[in-house]
Amino acid sequence: MNQKNSMHGAIAEPLQGLARMAWDQAESLCDPQHGCRNYHRTWSLVRLLSLNGALPGASAFFIEEIARRITAGARRILISGSADTGLLAVVAQAIRHAGQPAQIVIVDRCKTPLQQCRDYAGMLGLPVEFHACDVRALQIEPVDLVIAHSFLLFFPEPDRQQVIDSWARLTQAGATVLLFSPISPDEQTHPMRLDRDAIPGRAALLATAAVGRGWNEAERAELASDVARFWNESTGISKMPHTTADNLRRGLEQAGFRVLQVTPPVPESSTNGPLGVNATLTDNRAELIAERI
Ligand SMILES: C[S@@+](CC[C@H](N)C(=O)[O-])C[C@H]1O[C@@H](n2cnc3c(N)ncnc32)[C@H](O)[C@@H]1O
């Protein structure tokens, strides 16, 4: 990690440039089959302007738990799905806290967030392994730590269990899964309540904020419509059965993990992330810790 970042304060994340890169390149990098172009084109932009560049939710949980495990000897860390550079910034911060090196591995089926992470890792001087594939097809050396953030809700069953089984396949006894997810009171209740009426106004405000922050006047209308679409489509991301404390615990135990914690002893107030700017999420969050048996 280069000198500027290693010693002092939070790790810098030049999100404006990284957001502009995704806005410009998602068209060519995102696979149309995945339908993620608008999601990846706007994710960093919304995090930059609606959340003032905040790190992903529960970042304190991740930084503390990752640093604890690096200090205890963890050397290979898998980020399982990363919408942009937010999770890489979190892991880089934890490595700095631990004061010991670790190898970061990032898997995402889409090339856009991987390209953002490649650029950012270069700036940080951090060696990172990148894999553009479905996590269920990932073939790598075992990892000591798996990081997942609002990832499992992308998958219906039985795909979700296949993802967790892949984490088991990629880890050995003693390895850890750290996972953040909104959790519903039951499998039928959607974790998000979207305020659709507020979206057009908020999208117009965001477009105004973007003009002069790396975007120009001619892009205002496209900004507003793409960001409005990002928020309107956000409820479609969470697949049935919606994630609950029970089905998360069951899925991990079924794959050979011992679940040490599902919800945090003291809930940490965290942002709802770019998807939650226009929505209220369930109060319950999983900050889950599981150990490979
Ligand atoms: C992990 S989630 C949410 C991101 C997280 N909340 C964050 O702050 O970075 C989104 C990512 O998962 C990726 N993804 C979805 N299905 C996948 C799969 N089967 N294998 C690998 N990555 C996948 C998407 O391309 C997207 O970039």
Q: Is the CB of 130 under 6 A from ligand 1?
A: no
Q: How many residues in the chain?
A: 293
Question: Is the pLDDT at 10 greater than 70, yes or no?
Answer: yes
What average pLDDT score do residues 12-20 get? Answer: 97
pLDDT value for 212: 84
Q: What is the pLDDT of residue 271?
A: 55
Return the pLDDT at 278. Answer: 65
Residue 38 structure tokens: 């608008």
Condensed to tens digits (0 to 9), the pLDDT of residues 85-133 reads 999 999 999 999 999 999 999 999 999 999 999 999 999 999 999 999 9
Cα 288 from Cα 293, distance rounded (Å): 16
| Rounded-to-integer distance, Cα 176 and Cα 185, Å | 26
From 154, 161, 165, give the residue whose CB has the most ligand 1 atoms within 8 Å, as the site to mutate.
154
What pLDDT score was predicted for residue 237?
Answer: 86
**Residue 2: band (very low, low, confident or very high) from pLDDT cuts 50, 70, 90:** very low
Residues 130-168: tens digit of each pLDDT: 999 999 999 999 999 999 999 999 999 999 999 999 999
3 pLDDT higher than 50: no
Write out the DSSP string of 191-240.
Answer: SEEE-GGGHHHHHHHHHHHHBTTTB-GGGHHHHHHHHHHHHHTGGGSSPS
DSSP string of 116-143, one letter each residue: HHHHHHHHHT--EEEEES-GGG---S-E
Q: What is the mean pLDDT of residues 221-248?
A: 94
Q: Would you say the CB of residue 108 lies under 6 angstroms from ligand 1?
A: yes
Which range is least confidently modeled, 30-39, 128-137, 237-246, 276-285?
Answer: 276-285
Residue 135 Cβ < 6 Å to ligand 1: yes
DSSP-derived pairing of the beta strands 143-149 and 171-182: parallel
Which residues lie below 8 Å from residue 31, measured CB to CB, with a gap of 6+?
Answer: 109, 110, 111
Cβ(263)–Cβ(245) below 8 Å: yes
Q: Quote the pLDDT of residue 6.
A: 45
Distance 211 CA to ligand 1 centre (A): 28
Q: How confident is the model at residue 5 (pLDDT cuts 50, 70, 90)?
A: very low
Amino acid in the structure at residue 61: F
Instruction: Give the span between the Cα atoms of 93 and 75, in whole angstroms.
Output: 15
**Contact 115/123 with Cβ under 8 angstroms?**
no
Q: What's the whole-number mean pLDDT along residues 208-229?
A: 96
Question: Is the per-residue pLDDT at 269 higher than 60?
Answer: no
Structure tokens of 247?
């089905």
Burial class (CB in 10 A: 0-12, 13-18, 19+), 47: buried
Backbone angles phi, psi at 57, to 5 degrees: -55, 150
Tokens of 212: 């002069």
C-alpha 106/C-alpha 114 separation (Å) is: 8
Quick check: CB of 36 below 6 Å from ligand 1? yes
Residue 214 pLDDT greater than 70, yes or no: yes
Distance linking the first and last C-alpha atoms of the chain:
32
Q: Ligand 1: distance of its center to the CA of 91 in Å?
A: 16
Q: Is domain 3-193+232-292 given the CATH code 3.40.50.150 in the classification?
A: yes
Q: Could you tell me if the CB of 238 is within 6 A of ligand 1?
A: no
147 within ligand 1 shell (Cβ under 6 A) = no
